[in-house]
Chain A
Amino acid sequence: MKKYQALFTIRFSSGLQYRAAALGGIATQFAWGFMELLAFLAFYKANPGAYPMEFSQTVSYIWLQQAFLALFMTWFYEQDIFETITSGAVAYELVRPIDLYNRWFCHSAANRLARAVLRCFPILLVAFIVPEPLRMSLPPDLGQFGLFMISVPLSLGVVVAFTMLVYISVFFTLSPIGVRIVAALLADFLAGGIVPLPFFPDVVRGVVEILPFAAMQNMPLRIYSGHISGAAAVRGLFLQAFWFVILVVLGRLWMKLALRRAVVQGG
């Protein structure tokens, strides 16, 4: 356990070094969230009755989404890992006395966390002071906030476990680009990255709400604003834990299979 902790700390602090890059990211994400919200506001004004959540809930959803983009976005991959696999350098990794799945998992999770920590505070700060109706509100009560705090790490776990599957697929395809883009975009859409799940047509929504993607950003962002609360929120946490376990188990099995037939190319 200690070595994974060390690994996590190293990755985390090296991720914290890129402050100038973070500055650019913060500006982009803030502007992005702002435009996103203005569009939702236009729809809200067009017909408040058809709007499936309170507008303030959308506001919290979008701001949190932008602030924690690095934690939840499915299209953020570790380039190093792809290169390790395609270049054959993975052979070095295999001789190390450390489990490869755990190592990569730590690596991705730490990097995401570092990026999110660098970016989230300025975005949230501004989100809390911009004028109404775009101002972010606090969660309805402390309990709800607690549920949110449990949901965030679970969500990160599900996202990383999902990207692990994409990394492992590269053992088989060797060309990461196609699979990577398709998987990332589909997951992003089904997780509510483009339009929050409550806006999906009801027929589609019934299915989408129980997929592993619903256990990604969808859950914490809706729990924060109280759109999912009480028993439903607890059920949501269980859904997240369930998919987390399933994805990790799948990933580990698949990795075992991949490594058994891995051929190290070159000398």
Chain B
Amino acid sequence: MLYLKFVSIHLKSQMQYKTSFFLTILGQFLASFTALLGVWFMFERFPEVEGFTFPEVLLCVATVLLAFSLAECFGRGFDQFPQLISNGMFDRILVRPRSALFQVLTARIDFSRLGRFVQAVLVFAYAIPGSGVEWSWDKILTLILMVVCGSIVFFCLFMVYAGFAFFFVEGLEFMNIFTDGGREFGRYPFAVYGEKVLKFLTYVIPLALFQYYPLLYLLDREQGLLFMLSPLGGLLFAVPAYLFWHLGLRRYVSTGS
């Protein structure tokens, strides 16, 4: 498969600079580590927030981090997309006989993002036994759904970010509030931010669907299939995200080279 071929090319090319590669992984690791340290310091002082204790919040931290790092590993091609547009390289992509989306994605696959991944796995290793959840099959399934659907939602957000690049060349920074912001603020269950934010993150940008609601199910605060399967609802976000990308692609006018 062509995609796997691209994966192996990127892996090989990044492995050429091993020291730099591992230092970057370490950097990514530390990046999310300071955020984690921040959470820990807060919970040293406050035993709980909105009824969630430290190990329970860690479950949240790890889910969001893992989902984000997976999405980032494969979706960071979108990150460079605004540059592809502004330097005219995108025109070259359009004349090649593969879909534009595929080529943008394979333009960059960044394995150094695994630093976060490692961190997320370590936090899980602590939080899964530590959170006091009695792990039954349905809960394991819920957790897997949270991570998988979460990474798809983040992936879609990256796609929307790239979609905006069709319309605006500058000022795309604001999308960071949903991507990087989603990761940073996702460390606490979204209910912490109040009802309005929670509603927004449920119905508009469905970050809470794979974080807050299934977490309630895991912690036995809520029963019912709706909470368990809520991450699947987040997948609906892929529809507008793809349509938006497609719309941008259709009205694309080259910037020239």
Contact = CB atoms under 8 A, between A and B. Distances in A.
B46 A175 contact: no
B188 A42 contact: yes
The size class of the interface chain B forms with chain A is 35 or more
A35 interface: yes
Contacts of A39: 185, 188, 192-193
Contacts of B49: 42-43, 46
A46 B50 contact: yes
B137 interface: no
A178 B23 contact: yes
Contacts of B20: 175, 177-178
A32 B45 CA distance: 23
Interface string B1-44: 00000000000000001011001101110110011011001101
A46 B46 contact: yes
A50 B46 contact: yes
Contacts of B26: 178, 182
Contacts of B193: 35, 38-39, 42
Contacts, number: 114
Interface string A9-40: 00000000010111111011001100100110
Nearest to B197: A38
A179 B34 contact: no
A23 B24 CA distance: 30
B171 interface: yes
The size class of the interface chain A forms with chain B is 35 or more
A81 B228 CA distance: 51
B41 A181 contact: no
Contacts of A194: 34-35, 37-38
A242 B63 CA distance: 43
Contact of A50 (B45, B174, B181): B45
Interface of A: 18, 20-25, 27-28, 31-32, 35, 38-39, 41-43, 46-47, 50-52, 175, 177-182, 185-186, 188-189, 194-195, 199-201
Interface of B: 17, 19-20, 23-24, 26-28, 30-31, 34-35, 37-38, 41-42, 44-50, 168, 170-174, 176-177, 181, 185, 188, 192-194, 197
Give 5 nearest A-B pairs by CB, closest first: A178-B23, A181-B27, A24-B171, A24-B173, A20-B170
